[in-house]
A and B are shown apart, each in its own frame.
Chain A
Amino acid sequence: MAEIGKVRIRVPSSIKQGDVVRVRALVIHPMEIVQRRDGKPVDKNYLFINKVVVTYNGREILEAETTQSVSENPFFAFTFRATEPGTLKIAFLDTHGGKYEGTVDIKFS
């Protein structure tokens, strides 16, 4: 998993001021699930993303608490209102303290 933590974000190619923009984001991550031995769950520090934070020009617009019921290489979609040019940042935090960030520049055409 050399690519673990690689974040890909897609936004529409042309954005106008005031548009509600649909964003799709993907992160490469194993999202480990609970292992069972003899029907009993094994207790260990499972590696999965448990928090996603989206900020737009420094303001937090969306936060998600995720569990292992989210698929491997998790994909998220959401919208935001493009009020000003700037940066949209998506941070994925996992249970082992990993933080994976992706940013995309929002420009108006």
Chain B
Amino acid sequence: MERTPSTSHITRRTLLRALAVVGLAGVSGPLLAPGAVQAQGTLGALQPEEKVEATMKRLFGSRPIKDGSSAIKLDIPLIAENGAVVPVTVEVQSPMTPADYVKHIYIISDKNRRPMNAKFTLTPAMGTALVGANLRLGETTDVRAVAELSDGTLLMAKREVKVTVGGCGG
């Protein structure tokens, strides 16, 4: 162990203090409550634990959400044996021109502790409005895909996924 005297005296306290400074510098984004002094991965910075209705209200307020089951192709297995990895693909019918494109796609799973799973911000350069990801689902749940079009219209499609083994742990 060849350490200089200064580095060998890193106590837990100084380390924590240094980490706090790093955390302060890293705080950004609208997810944090104003004045929150936390690093990005702490509980305060996560999506809140809430019912899916509360999530929908928080994200979309009282804006009307139209049934988009004909425009949105939600490709997800009917039965997921392993909830830790559930592949999902969302494709929205859209010309994807600068005048008319899909701005955001939200993936929301109703019964997860934090229902908001992922938010994609798309651009017309993508050609098609297709995004895919692997989700973690805690139990059998509805999975919703909400698409926000460039004119502000909200479309939603949902499908139930039966989960044999949950993937969220505790």
Contact = CB atoms under 8 A, between A and B. Distances in A.
Contacts of A68: 46, 114, 136
A64 B42 CA distance: 19
Given A71-B135, A95-B41, A61 B85 contact: no
B40 A62 contact: no
A79 interface: yes
A96 B22 CA distance: 9
B117 A67 contact: yes
A48 B41 contact: yes
B86 A71 contact: yes
Contact of A75 (B109, B116, B134): B134
Interface stretch (B60-68, B146-154, B162-170): B162-170
Interface string A68-82: 111110111111110
Q: How large is the interface on B (under 10, 10 to 19, 20 to 34, 35 or more residues)?
A: 35 or more
Contacts, number: 138
Interface residues of A, number: 45
Given A35-B170, A67-B117, A70-B135, A45 B23 contact: yes
B121 A62 contact: yes
B40 A95 contact: yes
* 3 nearest A-B pairs in the assembled complex, by CB-CB distance: A77-B132, A95-B41, A20-B127
Interface of B: 19, 22-23, 26, 39-47, 49, 84-87, 89, 109, 112-114, 116-123, 125-128, 130-137, 167-170
